[in-house]
Amino acid sequence: MSRTILVTGGTGYIGSHTSVRLAERGFDVVIADDLSNSSAEVADVVAELAGKPISFENLDLTDGTAVDRLFDRHPIEAVIHFAGLKAVGESVQVPLRYYRTNLVSTLNLLDAMATHGVRQLVFSSSATVYGQPEALPIPETARTSPTNPYGRTKLMIEDICRDVAATNDGWDISLLRYFNPVGAHPSGELGEDPSGIPNNLVPYVMQVAVGRREKVQIFGDDWDTPDGTGVRDYIHVLDLADGHLAALDDGSERLNRGCSVYNLGTGSGSSVLDIVRSTERVSGRQIPFEIIGRRAGDIATSLADPTKANRQLDWRADRGLESMLADAWRWQSKHPNGFAVAAAH
């Protein structure tokens, strides 16, 4: 029998691509999502791309009773936890909302897992837990000092997971700190479709390219980087999805259970201007931009050292930047208004 995997936030960007990969591998997938930043239509697309049914539950993880009943309804054996608020800038403006949503939802999830005897968790953490890096690329052993409430919620959840695993009650938890996911499914039928104004660079650039937005705002050109704009380690969303499957497989086979942390990234960086220029090449469109002030909570450069995941999970990111952006453009050009707007009409 195939294993049943709960994917929280599974209609979101990374969760949906991971759900496709899981279903393609023969897992039974249960998606739980409150649709606060995604569309229910995504679950249908996941099922179509995977070629098998997907169970979808419209559910708010901050409702503990609803989470417990979810585990009553499905024979869940492991959980991949993506659900949560994720915009750095917004977290600075409304920190209490971020702490309440991200922490309470995770506590409810862990409570339900404990009650129902589910002990394997893959958690969607973030490179933001490192804050301003002391050295590049960043290893998992680097000091953690997040510079914004979003990153602090991720680090708090990591600490909660470590404490839970330390109870020696059979827990197997993988904390995946990933860097900057971009790209889309090569079919062009699944991609990043944020509600409202995108908080991440690439979907914003793609919306400018497709004509939905006037220009890209670049938050500072005076950073200590080669061209003055922020540098990030961009990773294709499908490489990232495969990292979650690698962690899931590793956990199911590993004898020494507990809590492990892994960076998921490429180890190489691209600047904001690199993204703009590469998008111009893959789309054939001019991308107008303007330089504005730095954004609160940002840092100059963030690069992963993915050696541990390469070695212990037998995983690596294979796709390059232009491949990522070409897939993102294929999605955006096929869906200029995204899922949510198309579904509304």
The set of long-range contacts for 314-318, using a CB threshold of 8 Å and a minimum separation of 24, is 314/246, 315/242, 315/243, 315/246, 315/264, 316/239, 317/235, 317/236, 317/239, 317/240, 317/243, 317/264, 317/265, 317/266, 318/236, 318/239
* Calpha distance 68→344 (Å, rounded): 31
Residue with the two structure tokens 């390059």: 320
List of residues 6+ apart from 327 with CB closer than 8 A: 183, 184, 185, 186, 188, 191, 236
* Calpha distance 44→55 (Å, rounded): 10
* Calpha distance 231→85 (Å, rounded): 23
First to last CA, the chain: 40
Residue with the two structure tokens 């660079």: 201
Q: Count CB atoms within 10 A of the CB of residue 189.
A: 18
Which of 98, 130, 150, 204 is catalytic? The answer is 150
* Calpha distance 27→74 (Å, rounded): 13
Annotation marks residue 150 as catalytic: yes
Catalytic residues: 150
